[in-house]
Amino acid sequence: MVPAISIQEYDAARQRVGLVDRAEYAYVVLSGKDRASYLQGLLTNDISALGAGQGCYSAYLTPQGRMIADLWVYELGDVMLLRLLRDVKPTVLAKLDQFIFSEDVQLGDVSDTFIGTAIVGPHSPRLLSSVLDIPENAVSGLAEHGNLRATFAAQPAIVLRNSDLGEPGFDVLVEAIAFQPLRAALHHAGAVEIDPATADTLRVEAGVPKFHQDMDEETIPLEAGIESRAISLTKGCYVGQEVIIRVLHRGHGRVARKLVGLAKGGDVSFKRGAMVKAEGRDIGEVTSAVWSPALQRPIALAYVHRDFVAPGTSVTVDGADAEVVALPFVK
């Protein structure tokens, strides 16, 4: 069953500013002069191109081109910061440590030292400026995945630009001692608490897949459609590159299945795990399902066979008619 969401919270995120919990994320820092070149050989995006204050979304793959994790990389100027889901942190840390030989790279798990929260919505820059020691135009001027240093109550803070919820958004990291005071200050400034179900609705409307929900260790990034955000086609070698290039060049980007959007009429939502059918056979499975306040209809993310990915394709899910739609659902 799809959890009910708060329209008041949804409207706050879309029209004003909402406060989103980020407890599911962990943070790792890399220091040392070789940190960028070291990650350049492991991750799919162009890490060496990042200057201070810049960042990118990337993936970490096996030699077979399947995902170990997706993660966000931020060059802070003196260290590099990784944001990734807590449930993949032990695996990623172990693998990163395994491949350090003579490089000047040091790894640090700061997940219990720095704690993050996020705000999302069109008024986010103004609200952050009122709470942190930074001008509004410095916040609003941050490029995608950009970052900057700030202070909160004389404590260090890091602001990270993000868009994984489909509206202008920013993660704010502070030391653990300042975390609850920061959340209280954001509330006092007007941020409305957004529950997990409402945040997930925003994510699905934006067509953003989530690891261990819409992607897993068997997923090739091209199947999830994240290649335009996560993969550089101009950088040098990285783990799994051979598979990605072979599919793109020899296979013209065709994979056995693709993540698509599904929509249907009525009030009955899709169910996660439901089979998608067409022409009398199973062609895929629903991975995320929500009710969309923006579209006033049930929507879902689902993997379907490559012959059925075109927008407008008719399918059935649990006996109900549905259609494939282009992502994102809401721009």
What pLDDT shows up at residue 133?
84
Residue 85 one-letter amino acid: L
What pLDDT shows up at residue 1?
58
Sequence spans of domains, the chain? 7-202
Q: Taking a C-beta distance cutoff of 8 angstroms, is the pair 100, 38 a contact? A: yes
246 contact partners, CB below 8 Å, separation of at least 6: none
Distance in Å from the first CA to the final CA of the chain: 26
What pLDDT shows up at residue 221?
97
Calpha distance 78→31 (Å, rounded): 7
7-202: CATH number: 3.30.1360.120
What pLDDT shows up at residue 250?
78
Q: Which residues of the chain fall below pLDDT 50?
A: none
**What is the DSSP code string of 4-43?**
P--HHHHHHHHHS-EEEE-TTEEEEEEESTTHHHHHHTTB
What pLDDT shows up at residue 244?
95
Q: Tell me the pLDDT of the chain averaged across its residues.
A: 95
Report in angstroms the alpha-carbon separations of 14 from 19, 53, 72, 227, 326: 12, 27, 24, 27, 21
What pLDDT shows up at residue 232?
97
